[in-house]
Amino acid sequence: MRNLKSKVVSKSTPIIYYWSSNSGGTRRVAENLKTTTQPIHEVETVTHPFVIMTPSFDQPRGGFTPKPVEKFLEQHGHYLIGVLGTGNLNFGEHYCQAAKDISAQYKVPVLHRIDLMGNDRDYQVIDSGIAAHWQKLIELRGL
């Protein structure tokens, strides 16, 4: 995890904000990425584009977006350019449901879905995809 409290983030700096439950699965994914990450509870103000990474709650009964993520997006969602979902493939159609819901609500793409804590291939796909497409995602949102 790369702490940004003292670091200035600009429009061109790829950043993933995330929320992780007590199990820590999403946090462990964030810690394995080369892209700058920061937990949402450390974020005071957002003035730049970002990607959100979140698990889903209450799977397999449908899954929903965790309340802290909903609150964060209510305040900062106008800068959201993409979403990453973490989950468990055993939940079938509700796998990474929060990412699907956020994508539909904010009209941003689901960039990747990660089973459990992911693997090296997932981390590489996320890092390389964000690096390659960051500016295009910003343009698509008109930011």
Q: Is residue 84 part of a domain?
A: yes
pLDDT at 35: 96
Residues 133, 52, 96, 74, CA torsion sign: negative
Structural domain for 134, as ranges: 15-141
The domain that holds 91 is classified in CATH as 3.40.50.360
Domain assignment present for 44: yes
Radius of gyration of the chain (CA): 14
Looking at the domain assignment, is residue 1 inside a domain? no
The tens digit of pLDDT for each residue in 12-46 reads 789 999 998 877 889 999 999 999 999 999 998 99
Low-confidence ranges of the chain (pLDDT < 70): 1-10, 58-62
Q: 65 in a domain, yes or no? A: yes
At 99, list the tokens.
């990412």
Please state, as a whole number, how many other Cβ atoms lie within 10 Å of the Cβ of residue 44. 5
pTM over 0.85: yes
Residue type, 105: Q
Identity of the residue numbered 20: S
Residue found by looking up tokens 């964030």 in the block? 30
- Is residue 8 assigned to a domain? no
